[in-house]
Structure formats: structure tokens, C-alpha cells
Structure 1
Amino acid sequence: MPIRLNLPPTLAARIATSDRPQYGMWVCSGSAMNAEIAAGSGLDVVLIDAEHSPNSLESILAQLYAVSAYPVAPLVRPPVGDPVLIKQYLDIGVQNLLIPMVDSAAQAAEMVRAVRYPPHGIRGIGSSLARASRWNRVDGYLADASSTITLFVQIESAAAVEAVEQIVAVEGVDGILMGPADLAGSIGALGQQDHPDVIEGVLRSIRAARAVGKPAAVNAFVPAMADRYVAAGASLVLVGADVSLLARSSEALADRYLGAHGADRASY
């Protein structure tokens, strides 16, 4: 007899049952080992990125396996909100999706359709072939699949902020995540995540999500900004990334042990 399985709780369920904000970090290296190290850190969420990182379906699957032994929620960002790609991500067992660059309620509704089976969506039906259902070892997967998936959409442009109240109200959108870096670029303030208009855009988005009882997440690698957004009601803050931590920490080692002797190599 096959072993019958239950899927882990979704990110939305974890947030809903927690009495505190959640904290997470990005894994952008494409490394399953880095993903496992991050999963054992004590943080709540590991965000596996494929938009700005060298990730394939195979490497994402390897990272899902690597973090599966740890009490974290893996959140995965595809490079684009393509229904075909989303289908593949779901079939390899991604339960928590973050779709980048969602600028309108209509686009958000299409993403909802992409993660749901007919008649409520357009997700292709291949559960018996896929890890998503553990090859039909999860009882009732087809009927209950939508309850095993969390869909976050990313608010990271001026257009998205203007439409955020409509986007977050879309049925099937479980939450939003603000990207201050792209938002800054879209308003002509490239590199200025602390620009007053960027901060107000993030705060407006948090208010919009809270108004409809949905979680708002945000990127905030600067501790003071993370604290500010948590105080404003953010449910999840991403506070670092594996590649950034390695870059800054290795630089600190060089400064400590080489000091001025390393200056001649600083502009190789």
C-alpha cells in the first residue's frame, strides 16, 4: 500500500496562524546547499528567486528538496507570470508563488486562473504525473489543490501602487509583496528605496492589504526600514539574501585582514 501524504501548510496559513510578523531571506545563488543553510537559520521564509537568479526547474526542485526537512515556508518567484511556467512550477511542488511585476487587477486575476484547475482556472491537469500531488498520494488533491497554494503578487511600479486597492481585492490573490527597488526606478528615483514617494507607496500598499484582511510583505534589507514597515502592519519582511550576505561578509574579511593593502585590487 502506498504511503498517504499531507502537504505542508501554505505560507498564507502560516501567516494567518502566527501571532507575530514573519521574517525571511532570498536565496538567489541557485544553490541547494545555500537554500538549506538559509532554511536552518531560524527565519520563517526562504524565497527562491528565478527572476534575477540562475535557476531552472531542476535547480528549484533541488532547493525545494533541500529545505523540506526544515520548518520554513519556501516561496518561489518565477521570472514572469507565464501560465505555462506557473503550471510547471506548481507541478514540481511549489506551493507558494510570488509573481513579479503585476500592475493591474486584470493581470492579477489571470494569475489566479493560472494556479487553479478548471472550471475556475486554466491550470493543466497532470497531477498523477507530478510531485504536486506526490503522484496521487495526497488524497483529494484535484478537488483541494487551490487550498494548497498561496499566491502573492508583487507591487513594484507606480502603476501597481495606483491600482493596489483593486489588485489586493482580487479573489484568489492571497497577499502582496512590495518591491521598493523597482518602485523607485519606476518613479525616476533609481536606487533610492528611502525616497519619500517610495515609502508612501509601500505604506499605501500595506494599508490596502490590511483593509481587506490580506497579508502584505515587503523587501527591506535596512533594519530601520524593516522595523518601520512591521510597525505599519507588514506581515512578512524579507531582510537579506544569500548572495548579498556573502558579498558583504567577504568584503568585511578583506577589510579586516588586508586593510589598505587591498586597495590596489579594489578596481580590478
Structure 2
Amino acid sequence: MLGGTAEARALASALTGHGVPVVSSLAGRVAEPRLPEGEVRIGGFGGPDGLARWLAGERVAAVVDATHPFAERIGASAATAAARAGVPLLRLQRPGWRPGPGDDWHWADSLGAAARLLPALGTRVFLTSGRQGLAAFAHLDRLWFLIRCVDPPEPPLPPQSEVLLSRGPYRAADEAELLRRHRIDVLVTKDSGGTMTRGKLDAARQLGVPVVVVRRPVRPRVSEVTEVNDALTWALERVTGWPGEKSAPAAR
């Protein structure tokens, strides 16, 4: 399991509940990650060749890529490595967000493109794109930024900024209060999807705040599902012959 998301943790829990050995691989970018059930491996594999060797050496029966929608590098490595190792691969990816009535969304293809949109939209920015890639906004010295991330970001940062270290989930009412308190007039987010951080979008709609949304990167085309239960069925069929069998052999 290539994990780090809530969906990955839910799937790991479900699989271990069926007696299936699971190794969850985390990138190690968060200092204190929420750990899933089962065995946990932290750190990279050395690219697709290293991952392919690990899959073969561990006799892995199936791989689920349940990483963040913006984990572009590991997604590409997983597709290449699984093909080389002859291991079936499934991507478990939550659906992206979609604007609704009353939303004022502006789509961008990258963080750099998002930064170019900001001067025309506002002067006080709530930046929720994570701590990676903040250099794209560092030249915007006439704007003020509230930067929210889990771990402290590294420079360069925008010269006028405040860092808020926090971890979701977030309620819409709390997000609206945060926007009011900091007089936010534009929000920046990646199209992460899911419910844990959607509250900021609901708050922005409520307050009439425009939102810059960074599109998801294009990832290799592999079999994909959006629901944990569908991924569970796929994995059990490949590891245990489920639903015919109830006891699961070792996956490695």
C-alpha cells in the first residue's frame, strides 16, 4: 500500500481485519504522520527500479496506490515498477472537488499559474497548498499570506506572511471564522478532494471569497477506483480469492 491518506488508512484497517498482511509505505514528508494498521515502511525506494526490486523480493501479491492526488512522482514510479515486477496495481483516488452555485473558482494548472492569478483577485491570501512549492509565491511582496500546513515550511516564503501549523479535519464554521479574523479575500488550494479540508471551500462560498484551485497533475493511466470498499474487494480477490475463501495466505 502506497499510503499517507485517510483512504489508505481505512483500506489498511479493512485488509488487516480480513487477515491480509499489509505493508504501508509512507513518504516521510510529515514529521508525525498518522500511522495505519499493519506494517509501516517510511522512506523512498530509489525510484521505479528500486520499487520493482522490493516488490519482487517481498513477493507482493498486489499494490494499491492510495497516495495523495498530487503525489505525482510516486504514482509514476508505482505504475512503472508494478508493470516491471508483474504485480497488479490499483489506484485508490478520491474524486476531485467541483464548484457549486455561488462559488467563484479560478482554475490553475500549477502553483506558479496560481500565483500569477492572485494580484487581480485580492491582497490577503489564505494559502492552503501545503509546504511544498511555496517558493512560487515568494515574489509577491505586495500581498499578505496566511500559510497553513502541517509541518514548518522552508524558505523562501512570501515576505509578508504568517504560518499556521495545523492538521485537519476542518469545519466550515471554524474556517469562516478564520477567514473573517484574518480578513482573507482570496483562497488558494489544490484540488485534493475529500471531506477533511472541504470546509474552507464552503466558508469561501459563504463569505463570497474567490478561490484559486490548482488542477491535479496528469498521472499514468492505471485501473482506478474512488471508494475504499471497491479497493478492498479488488485486493481481496487478488490476495485471497475472496469471496470464496475466508482465510488469507501471506501476501509475501
What TM-score range do you get, normalising by the shorter chain?
A: under 0.3
Tell me which of the two structures has the higher relative contact order, counting C-alpha pairs closer than 8 angstroms and 6 or more residues apart.
2
TM-score normalised to structure 1 length: 0.27
TM-score normalised to structure 2 length: 0.28
